[in-house]
Homo-oligomer: A and B are copies of this chain.
């Protein structure tokens, strides 16, 4: 008999997983606690725009969903750094046409559910909140919040693709020997907006990710298809200049006028946005095991990370793609496949989690500093000179097939070289000279 697979969560990862499993001939039921976003419209105001990159595209491609995404994606070829003075620096992410792609989480999710629903034997059940799991019998209980009743579902395999606050994980936490570390950061975020110009045009450079680095906090902006930008202020909850001191209209006005004068000129609704949108927190989840009997966590449910490397969705999509490859390799032996999956992906989840935490410092503080910008230039110059031996850390994470763990390890090694180069006397003047490339060459001969 055809196996029945339950996926809890109809978000990005759940929808993609449904498509992959349908292609393998399984009967797939997807349960989502929120209402059908195709009917209700996506509830925004808490969603950072996403940056789709290599790993995400690659995973989408196998199901044809890359075409769907491509129609609503805007390439961002680099960071546009906005200094307090109003001057800007553009720092390309990669080379040539390399880019990351701004995409609306709500639009992408809606389109993915639409497409997944067209796949054979895939059914979606909305307003179904997972309430209990019997891990021995692969049985789930849902609260059907629309009809105010409880529904029991028998399945063969269960996936928890229900995000950072996964109900499946809460249930799994009660199984023996489950370890979890759930930590909220002392900083959070608030979504704001730059509307389109009079003729619907983007009021800032469209093909860039804009950053206003201000040391302990920052603002970013990502382009939308309608000419607007989704703007996000990341800031500490407490301390100087933090959210705790932004409680009155006057405080908000003064803060933005002082810190982001160029941006605020384009934000007529700043006070309304600020007080109507929630201040959201950011959570990091490390847990293991991901699998108990025939239930398995995937995506954010297994490894929720902060958004600063733009890899949360990409990592979740890569989870799905690698699971698919493991199912091939094990001949769809699910017991073996889920176990291999968790051991293969756990170190990568851990690696991107750490990289993402670190990248907040890089974005909010270092990216605005001249010495750091110089370091990035030197890193790129070395990468261009030794394309088979050396890639920038950003490129390894964002544009390569290296595992996250490998990218992190190589990045740490390379960082020692870059630290040494930055110690050279007068590096600001001589960075294009022979000495730098000589050091790089020696390091590569020794380490690669």
CB within 8 Å of B: which residues of A?
Answer: 165, 170, 173-174, 176-184, 281
A-B contact pairs, 21 of them (CB 8 A): A165-B174, A170-B170, A170-B173, A170-B174, A173-B173, A173-B182, A176-B184, A176-B281, A177-B184, A177-B281, A178-B182, A178-B184, A179-B182, A179-B183, A179-B184, A180-B180, A180-B181, A180-B182, A181-B181, A181-B182, A181-B183
Which B residues are in CB contact (< 8 Å) with A281? 176-177
Least Cβ distance of A448 to chain B in Å? 36
Which B residues are in CB contact (< 8 Å) with A174? 165, 170
Which B residues are in CB contact (< 8 Å) with A170? 170, 173-174
A186 and chain B: residue at smallest CB distance = B177
Which B residues are in CB contact (< 8 Å) with A173? 170, 173, 182
A143 and chain B: residue at smallest CB distance = B132
A278 and chain B: residue at smallest CB distance = B176
Given the complex of chains A and B, what is the CA–CA distance between A281 and B176 in angstroms? 8
Given the complex of chains A and B, what is the CA–CA distance between A179 and B304 in angstroms? 14
Which B residues are in CB contact (< 8 Å) with A165? 174
Which B residues are in CB contact (< 8 Å) with A180? 180-182
The 7 closest A-B pairs by CB, nearest first: A181-B181, A177-B184, A180-B182, A179-B183, A177-B281, A179-B184, A170-B170
Least Cβ distance of A134 to chain B in Å? 14
Given the complex of chains A and B, what is the CA–CA distance between A179 and B165 in angstroms? 12
Given contacts A170-B170, A176-B184, A181-B182, 15 further A-B contacts (CB under 8 A): A165-B174, A170-B173, A173-B173, A173-B182, A177-B184, A178-B182, A178-B184, A179-B182, A179-B183, A179-B184, A180-B180, A180-B181, A180-B182, A181-B181, A181-B183
Given the complex of chains A and B, what is the CA–CA distance between A174 and B180 in angstroms? 14
Least Cβ distance of A306 to chain B in Å? 14
Given the complex of chains A and B, what is the CA–CA distance between A184 and B183 in angstroms? 17
Given the complex of chains A and B, what is the CA–CA distance between A183 and B180 in angstroms? 7
Least Cβ distance of A203 to chain B in Å? 34
Given the complex of chains A and B, what is the CA–CA distance between A179 and B183 in angstroms? 5
Given the complex of chains A and B, what is the CA–CA distance between A183 and B181 in angstroms? 8
Least Cβ distance of A440 to chain B in Å? 41
Least Cβ distance of A131 to chain B in Å? 9
A169 and chain B: residue at smallest CB distance = B173
Which B residues are in CB contact (< 8 Å) with A178? 182, 184
Which B residues are in CB contact (< 8 Å) with A177? 184, 281
